[in-house]
């Protein structure tokens, strides 16, 4: 039997087509549902295999408000952008994440942590120590509970019991 080449566009042609689609969406100012955008990001993967132009096109869609902001979206964008080692792009994502209000929305704690961790990794890869520290401060700020319920075991500074049971 004769071996046939795989059908469909070659990998470079497919990447070029994907970039053209992203640029057309941006040029037409076409809003994209967050779920569809996150699907695009998932397909792009975190391996850095996506062309830098495509990563920038994805960020441009989000930056220009064509995608509803979410911690998951910001985290995936930061994960992709960290491969470019571009502190300016990472700072844009960081600023957008802070000003969007998604960090304080209920139920976003996990995605916020993932987004901030990806930003920290990106800044570390780019050699930006001060920016990495700023991301860590932001993580600590949102990781600490603002109000703790009273402990059923009493205050933490209670009397020493030397291990004896308290009556």
Half-sphere exposure in the Cβ direction for 43 (13 Å, CA): 10
Q: Is the dihedral of CA 121, 67, 146, 134 positive or negative?
A: positive
CB atoms within 10 A of CB 11: 9
Q: Mind listing the pLDDT tens digit for each residue in 75-105?
A: 778 777 777 778 888 888 888 888 888 777 7
CA distance 47 to 77: 13
pLDDT tier, 48 (very low <50, low <70, confident <90, very high otherwise):
low
**For the segment 112-133, what is each residue's pLDDT rounded down to a tens digit?**
888 888 888 888 888 999 988 9
């Amino acid at each position: 039997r004769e071996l046939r080449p795989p059908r469909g566009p070659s990998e470079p042609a497919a990447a070029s087509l994907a970039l053209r689609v992203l640029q057309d969406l941006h040029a037409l100012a076409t809003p994209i549902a967050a779920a569809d955008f996150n699907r695009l990001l998932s397909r792009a993967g975190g391996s850095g295999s996506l062309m830098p132009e495509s990563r920038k096109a994805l960020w441009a869609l989000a930056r220009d408000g064509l995608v509803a902001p979410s911690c998951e979206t910001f985290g995936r964008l930061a994960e992709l952008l960290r491969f470019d080692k571009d502190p300016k792009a990472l700072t844009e994502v960081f600023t957008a994440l802070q000003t969007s209000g998604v960090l304080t929305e209920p139920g976003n704690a996990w995605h916020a942590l993932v987004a901030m961790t990806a930003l920290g990794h990106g800044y570390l890869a780019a050699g930006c120590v001060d920016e990495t520290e700023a991301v860590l401060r932001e993580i600590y700020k949102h990781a600490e509970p603002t109000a703790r319920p009273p402990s059923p075991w009493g205050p933490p500074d209670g009397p020493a019991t030397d291990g004896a049971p308290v009556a």
